[in-house]
Amino acid sequence: MISLSRANFLGTKPGVSGISNGSTRLQRRGPEVIRVAVGPSKGRSAEGNGTILTEEGGISASSVIDLNDKSTVSGGGVEDVYGEDSATEDQLVTPWALSVASGYSLLRDPRHNKGLAFTEKERDAHYLQGLLPPAVVPQHLQVKKMIHNIRQYQVPLQKYMAMMDLQERNERLFYRLLIDNVEELLPVVYTPTVGEACQKYGSIFKQPQGLFISLKEKGKVLEVLKNWPERHIQVIVVTDGERILGLGDLGCQGMGIPVGKLALYTALGGIRPSACLPVTIDVGTNNEALLKDEFYIGLRQKRATGQEYAELMHEFMTAVKQIYGEKILVQFEDFANHNAFDLLSKYGSTHLVFNDDIQGTASVVLSGLLSAQKLVGKPLADQTYLFLGAGEAGTGIAELIALEISKQTNTPLEEARKKIWLVDSKGLIVNSRKESLQHFKKPWAHEHEPVTGLLNAVKALKPNVLIGSSGVGKTFTKDVVEAMATFNERPIILSLSNPTSQSECTAEEAYTWSKGRAIFASGSPFDPVEYEGRTFTSGQANNAYIFPGFGLGLIISGAIRVHDDMLLAASEALAAQVAEEHFAKGLLYPPFSNIRKISAEIAAKVAAKAYELGLATRLPQPENLVKYAESCMYSPAYRSYR
């Protein structure tokens, strides 16, 4: 099979039409390997220079017409096939090439490269003799070697770069390594290390791993999408880089987030890599340090807002649906609050869209609270909730908790919301502030006298559950945690902000200040804590528990819209995976080591809800959705080549 870098390279007539005549040569490397190189333009027509394709699937040596017998020879006696050495700097050379994945090119194709795992038969059939050392090393030994090498690095960013290098070199080995060592490598390829990677993305950038769509492409976004080599895309993760984790505006360098999320979609949810597309919408940045950084890779201008921003996003959303169809899942990632809510509201009724910061975070936190019910012996409706942070994460979590309470108690949603209180930078959100509140905060303005400061709010409301989604570190102080422990036998404390430096408190602080009574989970991972002879292992309320399985469920059902009931189904499915042995350790979540099975269970529940709501298009519904989900998952095992 011959893959063309340009579909119109070979016309119906023999010859390379429309190419200026230079040193045009064809080489043969085995019966299936053809390379075409066109040298520098000399201003003459190429008419008359031709190639003849045979029906047997190649270009025979005798069919090559080379009108220029005098080959240019560069230093060392090596023939200058491409004409690049003989070209002056102002002459144009054509970088077109066509080849099948064999020989040297096969070793540089990340999707098909197996490194030393190529068998003797494959090496013989695909012209690999001499290009590899003699040893044949199976995939499991390659994994063993790679994890050993990665453990030698002391700096997390070095581990991240080593993983990204492997992904660009050997795709299947990358995913095998990640799946087999998920608990160890998840913090490397995603939070917290990905935050530092985004901050330094301009310095470590090697080659694009997704699409960069900037204001320069306004008016031709559809054409830009067509430049991506894959046509059967199922999931797009898109960011505009304005609110990367708790790090703020990182502009174009936010690309690390979509790349990382989609790596998890494949490793944890089984979505095949070729069906995933990372996208960064670059509208500038307000980060002065980046604008002055000589290595910054994005637009050097202040961030566009208003109509200009809305028009580019609308063009993108329209083009995505036009090229990939109704069932393409678009996941919004790390947009600032105002844009995040607006985009979800605007496109929620016309596209299959999902915001992981609002909906994914909400689903994983609700799951933790459903698990905590069993530890404290109280249903959700009998508890009071206090949030520090009233942005997209905080209000998203609050709304899903209210929906679950409403569902469990069969009471109106407005009544369920009264159990939930939010504190923002100006204090407790109460009715007297309603006129000045942003629209997404207004449902959480309850009747109460004004209260400033988190500690005062804790003392006034005596909540059972304290949830941090502020993006500001060290805000759950000793006084706050001790206050929670005075009126709760088992205070539930969720410190969700990422990365670790922005966490509201650490696991050690929560357990120590509560005298070992806290039920604690966090957004970033923490090591086990020793306190008075006991070992406490905290859970990680990581969105990676939810979004890979959630996305898989949408895909296998052919869902066309996301419904809140699907999020509730995902939360309940995750909570059902927490066993008694996990509760005994105080864990609110199951271990990540079984994440693929967990994702299949979540996918099945989400798909079942899509069928129930009439939002599924893949008919008929499979009898066993769990087995069907597992059967659809991508496997990173090496394939045998004929």
* Bridge partners of residue 522, in order along the sequence: 495, 540
Per-residue HEC secondary structure of 244-267 comes to: ECCCECCHHHHHHHHHHHHHHHHH
| Helix, strand or coil, per DSSP, at residue 34 | strand
Burial string for 279-296 (b: 16+ CB within 10 Å, else e) reads bbbbbbbebeebbebeeb
For residue 395, how many other CB atoms are within 10 A of its CB?
26
Q: Whole-angstrom Cα distance, residue 200 to residue 581? A: 41
594 is in an annotated binding site: no
334 is in an annotated binding site: yes
Find the catalytic residue in 261, 419, 441, 609.
261
Amino acid in the structure at residue 602: I
CA angle, 225 then 229 then 234, to 5°: 70
Distance of CA 472 to the CA centre of its chain: 23
* Bridge partners of residue 235, in order along the sequence: 276, 329
Between helix 139-151 and helix 171-180 the angle, nearest 10°, is 70
Q: Whole-angstrom Cα distance, residue 598 to residue 575? A: 10
Rounded to 10 degrees, the C-alpha dihedral 188/194/196/198 comes to 150
For residue 390, how many other CB atoms are within 10 A of its CB?
24
Under DSSP, the state recorded for 446 is: B
69 is in an annotated binding site: no
37 within 8 A of 83, measured Cβ to Cβ: yes
Under DSSP, the state recorded for 639 is: P
- Look at residues 385, 371, 398, 388 and name the one whose alpha carbon lies nearest to residue 464: 385
Q: Quote the tokens at residue 166.
A: 């492997």
Q: Quote the tokens at residue 336.
A: 């600032």
Instruction: Name residues whose C-beta falls within 8 Å of residue 473's C-beta, 6 or more positions apart in sequence.
Output: 246, 497, 501, 502, 503, 504
- Look at residues 263, 228, 235 and name the one whose alpha carbon lies nearest to residue 353: 235
Instruction: Name residues whose C-beta falls within 8 Å of residue 387's C-beta, 6 or more positions apart in sequence.
Output: 394, 397, 398, 420, 421, 422, 423, 467, 468, 469
- Look at residues 297, 300, 268 and name the one whose alpha carbon lies nearest to residue 280: 297
357 is in an annotated binding site: yes
Mean pLDDT by 10 residues, the chain (642 residues): 37 36 40 41 38 39 41 50 70 67 90 96 95 98 98 96 96 98 94 92 87 97 96 97 92 95 97 97 97 95 97 98 97 94 96 96 96 92 96 94 96 96 96 93 96 96 96 95 96 92 94 96 91 90 96 98 97 95 88 94 98 97 97 95 88
For residue 70, how many other CB atoms are within 10 A of its CB?
6
Between helix 564-575 and helix 361-376 the angle, nearest 10°, is 40
Helix%, strand%, coil% for the chain, nearest 5: 45, 10, 45
Q: Note if 611 is an active site residue.
A: no
Question: Position of tokens 């089984």?
Answer: 270
Find the catalytic residue in 190, 265, 511, 589.
190
472 within 8 A of 505, measured Cβ to Cβ: no
479 is in an annotated binding site: no
Does the reported pTM lie above 0.75?
Answer: yes
Question: Position of tokens 């068998």?
Answer: 119
| Helix, strand or coil, per DSSP, at residue 351 | coil
- Look at residues 593, 198, 521, 204 and name the one whose alpha carbon lies nearest to residue 372: 521
Up-side HSE of residue 181: CA atoms within 13 Å toward CB? 21
Q: Note if 302 is an active site residue.
A: no
Helices assigned H by DSSP within 348-461: 361-376, 392-409, 413-417, 454-461
Amino acid in the structure at residue 419: K
368 within 8 A of 589, measured Cβ to Cβ: yes
Burial (CB count within 10 angstroms: exposed 0-12, middle 13-18, buried 19+), residue 392: buried
Burial string for 403-432 (b: 16+ CB within 10 Å, else e) reads bbbbbeeeeeeeebbebbbbbbeeebbbee
